[in-house]
């Protein structure tokens, strides 16, 4: 009986810690924001730049965009709101997005992925510096 309780407690501790490890975005505006993320992925199935979006955040909403441990210390994002404001980089880090539809693009830094209505956007850099969890609040838009 004690062994089962001990194993149960370990599982709860593991899942509680795992559920806290994530990259979250919070909409601090009074209108919806759409967010895209990009990061370098290096695993058995794919190695390269990966972009995905659009995640809609309603006013006041916080949403997890990358769940689990933040494996990498650097991520990138681009966001825009319904009023025309943008959260973007200065052009140093550009990745391919679909400006209208939800997307997941492997090799998002490669020109051959520019097909259909896809385009590039200047993404802003996020340094998580080894954090297991990171929350970014999107208030007034400003360029990096």
pLDDT above 60: residue 20:
no
Q: In this predicted model, what pLDDT tens digit does every residue of 125-136 receive, in sequence order?
A: 998 877 778 888
Q: In this predicted model, what pLDDT tens digit does every residue of 38-76 receive, in sequence order?
A: 999 888 999 999 999 999 999 999 999 988 777 777 899
Q: In this predicted model, what pLDDT tens digit does every residue of 74-94 receive, in sequence order?
A: 899 999 998 889 999 988 999
For residues 79 and 122, is the Cβ–Cβ distance under 8 A?
no
- CB count within 10 Å of CB 72 equals 13
Amino acid 130: pLDDT: 72
pLDDT tier, 9 (very low <50, low <70, confident <90, very high otherwise): very low
Q: In this predicted model, what pLDDT tens digit does every residue of 106-127 receive, in sequence order?
A: 999 999 999 999 999 999 999 8
- Tokens representing 120? 């590039």
For residues 140 and 94, is the Cβ–Cβ distance under 8 A?
no
**For the chain, which residues make up each domain, given as ranges?**
22-138
Amino acid 129: pLDDT: 76
* pTM summary value: 0.80
pLDDT above 90: residue 22:
no
Q: What is the mean pLDDT of the chain?
A: 83
Report the C-alpha gap between 93 and 107 in whole angstroms: 14
- Tokens representing 42? 């290096």
More confident residue, 3 or 55: 55
């Amino acid at each position: 009986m004690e062994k089962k309780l001990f194993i149960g407690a370990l599982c709860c501790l593991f899942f509680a810690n795992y559920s806290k490890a994530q990259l979250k975005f919070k909409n601090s505006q009074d209108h919806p924001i759409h967010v895209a993320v990009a990061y370098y992925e290096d695993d058995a199935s794919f190695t390269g730049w990966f972009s995905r979006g659009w995640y809609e955040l309603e006013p006041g909403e916080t949403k997890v965009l990358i769940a689990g441990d933040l494996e990498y210390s650097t991520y990138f994002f681009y966001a825009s709101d319904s009023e025309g404001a943008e959260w973007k980089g200065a052009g140093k880090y550009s990745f391919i997005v679909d400006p209208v539809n939800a997307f997941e693009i492997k090799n998002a830094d490669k020109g051959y992925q520019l097909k259909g209505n896809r385009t590039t956007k200047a993404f802003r850099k996020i340094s998580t510096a080894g954090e297991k969890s990171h929350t970014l609040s999107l208030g007034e838009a400003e360029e990096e």
